[in-house]
Amino acid sequence: MPAPLLDVSGLRVSFAADGGRSTAIQDVSFNVGAGEVLSIVGESGSGKTLSLLSVLGLIDRRTTFVEGRALFNGRDLFTLPPRELRRIRGAGIALISQDPMTALTPVFTIGDQIAEQILAHEKVSRRAARARAVDLLREVGIPSPEEAVRRFPHQLSGGMRQRAVIAMALSCNPALLIADEPTTALDVTVQAQVLDLLRRLRRDHGSSIVLITHDMGVVAEMADRVMVMYAGRVVEGGTVREIFEDPWHPYSWGLMNSIPPVRGAKPARLVSIPGTPPTPQDIPPGCAFAPRCRLRRPACAAPPPRQEAGGHQALCLIEAAERPGLRAGLWTAEGTAA
Amino acid sequence: MIAAVLQRLVQMAFVMFGISVLVFLIFFATPGADPAARLAGRNASPETVQQIRHEFGFDRPLPVQYAIMMKKLFITQDLTSFVNRGEKVVPEILAAAPATLSLVAGAALLWVLGGLFVGVISAATRGSWLDRSLMILALIGISMPVFWLASMANLVTQSAYHDSWAFSWVPELGYTPLTKNPLRWFQGLVIPWLTLATLYVGIYGRVLRANLIETLQEDYIRTARAKGLSETRVLLRHGLRTSLAAFVTMFGLDFGSLVGGAALLTEVLFGINGVGRLTYIALGNLDLPMILASVMYASFFVVGANAVVDILYAVIDPRVRKE
């Protein structure tokens, strides 16, 4: 197996809080191979975005402490001097951020902002950079790109802005795209278009994509592999097939149960996971999910074991043999409650 | 864009008309006071008052009075001061304007550059000792009253250390026109510039720092960093430009009112014969024509400066531009 493009191991992110550090990301490891789509799912506040921003060094270094290792093409991003890291940002790894309404600087034209990124990484003329900006906008499906380069962000609709952000991310042919909930802020029809676009880009350019989302539908459609995060920990990871057909962790069960079934009897109401994720300050010492877990046992007060089989892994003490029964029980218990 | 500018200028003309009416009414239509007697000043003879009443049309309806007053101010420009025995008011203000403009423009240049420097450096190094010391210095600058600072500056440069090498170049108090002797003009204004700018550097630096720090939390700053731009470029190109709104607004108001005579204390203490000093003397003598003319002049500058600010907004931020 060739070395993965991005290999993150033992990532730990903590903030300075009154009376010590509060750890937001604990022992997160993952890798992304060339041309692969890794999807990171979890509720808001589970540390999906923070993990990736930490890898890119886009967090406030004054208040945030990052430990671990993040190898990109064999070079550790955490120990690179700022200059070198800047060369990778934008050119090797590009970021598509969540909200296209606020992701572009309001006072510069779309063309300026795309050309700026090209000029930051390549020795080309201003005119050539500008011409490439037009080509990129055409590629992401913006109508009349010659005119769009002269537009300011506020003159474009949300979908068009997200396309412009994607065009900008693609401008230096990055090997890895990090898409942070790229469709959350968009209308449903535009969402589908943007996902199509991402899929096409992956096919045409062979880029790897890290897709951060909380939409399981998007995961099923796009991902090769899935990583489920909860309270700053990876609670389950595996191929998209493994996660959808045989999830191991009760939290993943909860996520799956929140998708309405397409075939068969529809439940009276969708099952939700009660409660909210803990804040970094009050993550329990044992299993982080235990307080919200219906299958909680006394042993959950201790840190849960990591179970592995092939590439599939989960952070839970439930044994393989007990899983089907417990999961079915969760359904019926919920059914009678509803 | 040009249409928007024109529209703004027309608006400005209307505002100025409104102000002139308001000022006129405040001065001459206040019930219970005889405007002719007030114009004439203290201890005027009954004949003078009678003559003024006739000349300014105070025995005729208000609109006529307003028209006569505006004619005297703007067209014939022969409004005379009765306290100062026939001194024409408008030429006097126009003669004083270059001194005020020299003082305020120089100080404005200093405080804009100083404010930008303090604001950007503090925001870029926020939380560091450098940021903290700059903010303390800014606070000290804001807290020092200008009359005290000017007196201290005079004490040091004019008497206590005037004979030392450090301040022997400072000429005696007063204003030398630029056209007469550029070097003297500059030397004479350095200390007043610094004095006047001190307060504003503090205010502008602190406001810019706060706005910049707020802007640096924006998503587009993260996008700019993710693009691989240098920290300096992110700060100056993407951060600063979008943080300038408050800075520019304040500048328009402050510059307008200072040119309009609000630099009064600085002018008086440094013996600069500017509009502020003129107003100050007129207030002392109850010289109504002079006060009227300088109030009008000041308000026009504030309105004009605000129109310039609005146009600047459109230059800085495309969202303000009309389609």
- Write out chain A residues lying below 8 Å of B317, CB-based: 106-107
What is the ipTM, given to two decimal places? 0.86
pLDDT value at position A336?
Answer: 43
Residues B196-205: what's their mean pLDDT?
93
Half-sphere exposure of B94 (CA within 13 A, CB side): 8
Q: What is the mean pLDDT of chain B?
A: 86
Q: Please state, in angstroms and rounded to a whole number, the distance separating the CA atoms of residues B191 and B94.
A: 24
**Contact (Cβ atoms closer than 8 angstroms) between residue A184 and residue A97:** no
Taking an 8 Å cut-off on Cβ atoms, the answer to whether A58 and B226 are in contact is: yes
Taking an 8 Å cut-off on Cβ atoms, the answer to whether B318 and A97 are in contact is: no
- The pLDDT of residue B278 is above 70: yes
To test the contact with chain A by mutation, choose from B1, B223, B234, B313 the residue with the greatest count of A C-beta atoms within 10 A, namely: B223
pLDDT value at position B322?
Answer: 61
Q: Which residue has the tokens 């022969």?
A: B78
Cα B186 to chain centroid distance, Å, stands at 19
Q: Which residue has the tokens 């449903």?
A: A188
pLDDT value at position B79?
Answer: 80
The answer to whether B318 contacts chain A (CB < 8 Å) is yes
CA-based nearest residue to B241, from B184, B315, B298, B140: B315
For the stretch A8-30, pLDDT in tens is: 999 999 988 777 788 888 889 99
Cα angle B107-B285-B22, degrees, rounded to a multiple of 5: 70
Contacts of A218 (CB under 8 A, 6+ apart): A39, A183, A191, A195, A211
The answer to whether B241 contacts chain A (CB < 8 Å) is yes
CA distances from B104 to A123, B265, B266, B302 (A): 45, 12, 10, 13
CA-based nearest residue to B240, from B209, B219, B201: B209
pLDDT value at position A126?
Answer: 92
Residues A201-215: what's their mean pLDDT?
87
Q: Of A222 and A21, which is predicted with more confidence?
A: A222
Residues A208-230: what's their mean pLDDT?
90
Q: How far is A10 from chain B (nearest CA, A)?
A: 23
- Write out chain B residues lying below 8 Å of A184, CB-based: none
Q: What percent of chain B shows pLDDT beyond 70?
A: 98
CA-based nearest residue to B266, from B194, B178, B207, B172: B194
**Contact (Cβ atoms closer than 8 angstroms) between residue A33 and residue A2:** yes
pLDDT value at position A335?
Answer: 46
Going from the N-terminus, what domains does chain B have, and what CATH number goes with each?
A: 2-76 (no CATH), 92-274 (1.10.3720.10)
Residues A220-229: what's their mean pLDDT?
91
Residues A308-317: what's their mean pLDDT?
87
Question: Using CB atoms, which residue from B227, B229, B317 is nearest to A106?
Answer: B317
Residues B284-294: what's their mean pLDDT?
84
Contacts of A248 (CB under 8 A, 6+ apart): A236, A307, A312, A314, A316, A318, A320, A323
pLDDT value at position A117?
Answer: 94
Taking an 8 Å cut-off on Cβ atoms, the answer to whether B226 and A90 are in contact is: yes
Strand segments (E) across chain B:
80-81, 87-88
For the stretch B131-156, pLDDT in tens is: 999 999 999 999 999 899 998 888 88
Cα angle B54-B55-B58, degrees, rounded to a multiple of 5: 55
Out of A16-20, A130-134, A279-283, B178-182, pick the least confident: A16-20
Q: What percent of chain B shows pLDDT beyond 90?
A: 28
Residues A57-83: what's their mean pLDDT?
89
pLDDT value at position A337?
Answer: 42
Q: Of B53 and A211, which is predicted with more confidence?
A: A211
Interface of A to B at Cβ within 8 Å reads 53, 56, 58, 62, 82, 86-91, 94-95, 97-99, 102-108, 116-117, 120-121, 152, 154, 165, 168
Residues B194-216: what's their mean pLDDT?
93
- The pLDDT of residue B59 is above 90: no
- Write out chain B residues lying below 8 Å of A104, CB-based: 220, 223
- The pLDDT of residue B110 is above 90: yes
- The sheet carrying A93-96 orders its strands as A93-96, A176-180, A208-213, A37-41, A225-230, A233-239, A312-315, A306-309
Nearest CA in chain A to B243: A107
- Write out chain A residues lying below 8 Å of B223, CB-based: 95, 97, 103-105, 165, 168
Q: Please, which residues bridge with residue A69 across strands? A: A9
Longest dimension (CA), chain B: 81
- Write out chain A residues lying below 8 Å of B242, CB-based: 105-107
The answer to whether B132 contacts chain A (CB < 8 Å) is no
Q: Which residue has the tokens 């928007």?
A: B4
Q: Of A333 and B305, which is predicted with more confidence?
A: B305
Nearest CA in chain A to B242: A107
- Write out chain A residues lying below 8 Å of B248, CB-based: none
Nearest CA in chain B to A99: B219
Contacts of A230 (CB under 8 A, 6+ apart): A42, A43, A46, A251, A277, A288, A289
CA dihedral for A189, A192, A194, A200, sign (positive or negative): negative
Q: Of A337 and B184, which is predicted with more confidence?
A: B184
Q: For A56, which DSSP code?
A: T
Q: What is the mean pLDDT of chain A?
A: 86
For the stretch A251-291, pLDDT in tens is: 988 888 777 777 777 666 777 778 888 888 888 888 888 88
pLDDT value at position A338?
Answer: 38
pLDDT value at position B213?
Answer: 93
For the whole model, what pTM was predicted? Answer: 0.83
pLDDT value at position B85?
Answer: 67
